Structure formats: structure tokens, C-alpha cells
Amino acid sequence: MKFIPSLDKNFYPLVVALEEYEEKVKSIKEKDELIICVERNNGYNFIYKNFIFTDNTGHDNETFVLFERILKTILYLAGGYKIIISGSKQFYNNIKETYSLTGKRKFDVEFMEQVYEEKFEVLYEEDSSKLVLKEEIIQINNDLSGNRIGFDAGGSDRKVSALVDGKCIFSEETVWNPKTNSDPQYHYNGILESMKKAASYMNNKVDAIGVSSAGIYINNRTMMASLFLQVGKEDFQKTVKNIYIDVAKEFGDVPLVVANDGDVAALAGAKSLNDTGVLGIAMGTSEAVGYVDLNGNIKGWLNELAFVPVDLNENSLIDEWSGDVGCGVKYFSQDSVIKLAENNGFKFDEGLTPAQKLKVIQKLNEENDTFANEIFENIGVYLAYALSYYSKFYDLKHVLLLGRVVSGKGGNTILDICRSILPEINFELTNLVVELPDEKTRRVGQSEAAAMLPSL
């Protein structure tokens, strides 16, 4: 390991552990191929293959510890409710026990069951040739003809745009409070009001609607979203589940595409950069991620990298929601700044919120405090190793860093450290462009980008 975070010396990057394991396996003659297939809605899947030590040769625990982390990565990166293992019965048996309602990963099982509304399964397949890749591709339009509404639902404001043949003729931002409102009619009325206003600028003729919204959406249905945090279960099922589908019906039988706001942010970045292979990482309350592939499309993946492990140190900070350790949320959000400060003796005033604690460190950093600067340097080290790991699953040309953690001087420090060490960590990423959004990128609103989603 070439670079050790000065404030977190027990950090053991998952990518380093993987590369060390792969080197050991290369040196032996007898090895087996492990295949992990994670399947989600409509049979779409993600397939991962790697060589491992043969079962019962003294390496079973080492294999399980590492590849369970990789399996969890795939689960939250692509999403799925069915795990299919081929090539190692021992690994399959351990995973089947672990990913069950009585196992260590009970949270993940219940999470995926809620998202996909299917029973979670772990299966074994003797014939690996039966595991065939089936990808979901959501093609993005270069043809933006017609009258389109683009809508972006944020936690503090909602934005809508009206586009005619690709030209934005109207855009408006409206303050709202979706996270604190339990009445689903409040959300419905707010969304409809914005869309109707956009439609009025197109003589109420709407050809397509694209939506960018925080949360998880499957087939345009709301499966999980913090925007509707206060809405009760019954109202969620009755009104929120199909809220965008029902609003769209108010405009007739028009094409509708609802996508996670992270993917749409990456799409906006790709449009501004005029390139593809873009991973957007927003470091704020959590780690929010979106991805546009090398063909300029989005893939229907969850991209919930806040839950994806990046650190194999079993004593690393616990994610309070999932109960797991080493996950991205504790490395690429305001939690990371607070963790590095408090674990190294810094005392915050009583009663401060996490956002206020972040501001304390950022203020010290702006005043050239060396400890505060060191915190952002450490996050830069975290990021370089994480990008090397993420590149095992994403084809990358650009990484855009967004969110309050990378605002101000600290963001430049994170960026500088990451850029400087990334080629030494992974020479294949020498040409990867890691950057903060420029003004051009910021000007392409997510509501405008959302309008690109539907095909006519």
C-alpha cells in the first residue's frame, strides 16, 4: 500500500486487498473461477468473474471475506434480489447463510426486497454457461424534437423546464418541503403545479416527460425515496408508488421516464463535457452517485455507493443505517470529515448538527488550519483508492465531484491529492479526468437534462 491516510492509519483499501489476492492466485496452478451473478427486475443482471483458490485448500475464509465485499458492491451498484453463484460451493454456502433474514446481511436482504418487491434468493448454478449477461440500456436522445417537460425533484426545491425541439423556453425553481410533509397530496399537487406551468408555455401540448428525482425508481415507480420520508406506508403504496405515472396521465398518454437524480446529474455533466463515461459523485449528507456509460446511456443501476464497501478494516466506522463497516458513506460525505476530526481528538461544541460540524472544519480550513487541511488531504487519499476500485465495475473517462464537502478550499485539496496519487495507485487511470464542475456544467440544469430521457 503506497499511500496511508495520516489520520486513519488502519485504512485497508478493498482494491488493495483484491489486487493482493489476485497476485497470490496467479502464482498457483490449481484454481477455480468464481462467478457471481446478481439479477434484478425483468431478468437484467450483472455478472462478475474472478479466479479464486480451490475450496478446502486453507483459503476459504480469505476468499469469503473478500468476495462477500465484492458481492455487496455489485448488489448496491447494479441492484438485485437474486444472487446466483457458480464455481465454489463453499462460497455459495457461506453467502446463502449470510444473505438471509437470519444472517449478518439481513438489512441488505430486506432493503432489496422492498426495492424490487420480490423475495430475496441465493442460488447455486452448476452450469456456468447458463449465466448470460442481460443489460438494461436507457438510451439518451440526441433527437430532442417535440414539446418536452423536464422535472427535477429536490429536497428543498423543485425545478421544471419546458423544451421545444431541444431549446429551453421556460425554467422555474419553486421552494417546497417534501421531506417534512406527510400528506402525499402535497407532493402530488406540487409536482402537477410545476408541470402544468411548463405545459402552459407550450400551449398545453406535451409530447414527453422526463423526471429526475432523489430515490430509487423501477419502471417509473417509486420504490424508496427520502423525499417522501414522512408519508405513511399505506399512503406510500396508494399514492406515492405511482405518483409520477399518475401525474403524467394528466397530460395524456405521453412517454414518461423517471430516473434517479444522480444519473441525471451525470447526464447533465456528460452533456456539458460533450463526452461519455461520466461518474458523478456528490459528497453531502451521504454519497450520491450517477453514471453515464461509454455510449452516453444510463443503465438502470441503483448506484447506491453509500452502501458499497471501500475499506476492509473490520474496526472501521459503522454505518448506522445498514450496521455494516467500511462503507462509502463514512468516507465520502460530511460523516467522513466529522469522523476524521473526532477520531483524532477534535471536540465540537455540543448540539451541533452534522452539517454545522462540517462548516466548523471548513471555516478552520479557510483560515489555513493545518489539521483541517489534513482532513481533506485524507479524503483525497480515500478517493483515489475508491476510484481505483470503482473502475473495476464502471468504464470511466470523467469523474465529477459535487456536494458541500467539496465546496471551497477543501474540495480543491481533495481534488489535488486524488489527482496526484491516482496514477501511482492505478496506472490504467492515468488519463482519468477527475474534476469539479465548471460553470458550463453547472448551467445545464437537471430538469433540462431530465427532458432528454424519453424517446418519442
In this structure, what DSSP letter does residue 129 have?
G
| Rounded (to 5) percent helix, strand, coil in the chain | 40, 20, 35
Kind of pairing, strands 433-435 and 398-402? parallel
147 bridge partner residues: 164
Of the candidates 82, 67, 68, 70, the one whose C-alpha atom is nearest the C-alpha of residue 37 is 82
**C-alpha closest to that of 278 among 396, 188, 120, 368:** 396
Domains of the chain, with CATH numbers?
Answer: 14-130 (no CATH), 147-260+446-450 (3.30.420.40), 266-442 (3.30.420.40)
The CA distance from 220 to 382, in Å, is: 34
Q: What is the pLDDT of residue 440?
A: 55
- Tell me, what's the pLDDT at 339? 97
Instruction: Please tell me the distance from the alpha carbon of residue 304 to that of residue 75, in angstroms, as a whole number.
Output: 9
- Residues in CB range of 345: below 8 A, 6 or more apart: none
Rounded to whole angstroms, the Cα distance separating 34 from 97 reads: 18
Q: CA geometry: angle at 390 spanning 213 and 267, to 5°? A: 35
Q: Is 358 exposed, middle or buried (0-12, 13-18, 19+ CB in 10 A)?
A: buried
Of the candidates 248, 223, 229, 242, the one whose C-alpha atom is nearest the C-alpha of residue 113 is 223
- What are the C-alpha distances in Å from 378 to residues 69, 139, 414, 415? 23, 38, 8, 11
Q: What pLDDT does 50 receive? A: 98
Hey, how many other C-beta atoms are within 10 angstroms of the C-beta on 312?
19
pLDDT number for residue 154: 83
Please state, in angstroms and rounded to a whole number, the distance separating the CA atoms of residues 109 and 75: 10
Nearest to 256 by CA among 213, 294, 297: 213
User: What's the per-residue H, E or C state across 203-261?
Assistant: CCCCCEEEEEECCEEECCEEEECHHHCCCCHHHHHHHHCCHHHHHHHCCCCCCEEEEEH
pLDDT exceeding 90 applies to what percent of the chain?
86
Residues 6+ apart with CB under 8 A from 219: 41
**pLDDT at position 400, please?**
94
At residue 142, the pLDDT reads 74
Q: What is the pLDDT of residues 417-430, one digit of tens each?
A: 999 999 999 999 99
Name the percent of the chain lying above pLDDT 70: 99
Please state, in angstroms and rounded to a whole number, the distance separating the CA atoms of residues 447 and 210. Answer: 8
Sheet with strand 45-53: strands edge to edge: 45-53, 31-39, 82-86, 121-124
Give the pLDDT of the chain (456 residues) as one tens digit per residue: 899 999 999 999 999 999 999 999 999 988 999 999 999 999 999 999 999 999 999 999 999 999 999 999 999 999 999 999 999 999 999 999 999 999 999 999 999 999 999 999 999 999 999 999 999 988 887 788 999 999 999 888 899 999 999 999 999 999 999 988 999 999 999 999 999 999 999 999 999 999 999 889 999 999 998 889 899 999 999 999 999 999 999 999 999 999 988 898 899 889 888 999 999 999 988 899 999 999 999 999 999 999 999 999 999 999 998 999 999 999 999 999 999 999 999 999 999 999 999 999 999 999 999 999 999 999 999 999 999 999 999 999 999 999 889 999 999 999 999 999 999 999 999 999 999 987 556 555 778 889 989 988
Q: Residue 292 and residue 395: Cα distance in Å, rounded?
A: 9
Q: Which residues contact 132 (CB under 8 A, 6 or more apart)?
A: none
Place of cell 463497516: 325
